[in-house]
Copies of this chain bind each other. A is one copy, B any other.
Amino acid sequence: MQIGKVVGTLVSTRKDEKLTGLKFLVVQPVDIDGRPTGGYVVAADAVGAGVEEYVLYATGSSARQTVLTDKRPCDATIMAIVDTWEIGGEIKYRKNE
């Protein structure tokens, strides 16, 4: 998984029928210090994430293992909202701080 920051939303009305009800968020991967690394991914939201939140997202077939994304044509899913991560004993990020 990668850590990402939710930066936006994407809307589509004309889509494969299996996608009905999925919410798409635009996520920027961040480095180990929380800085954007370039690039982005459009991910389905399985946890009710909001813009500005740091999240964990899974890609590939693992993105379809949530109840929400099962058997859907979706290759990236936000499956967790990050509370905190630390590197070498140093807290790099803590939610609501």
Contact = CB atoms under 8 A, between A and B. Distances in A.
The complex is assembled from copies of this chain, and their number is 5
A75 B1 contact: yes
Interface residues of A, number: 59
Contacts of A24: 1, 56
A11 B84 contact: yes
Interface string A66-97: 11010111111101111111111000100000
Contacts of A74: 1, 58, 62, 65
Interface in A13-45: 13-19, 24, 26, 28, 31-32, 40-43
Task: Pick the 6 closest A-B CB pairs, nearest first.
Answer: A15-B80, A62-B75, A8-B87, A65-B73, A12-B80, A10-B85
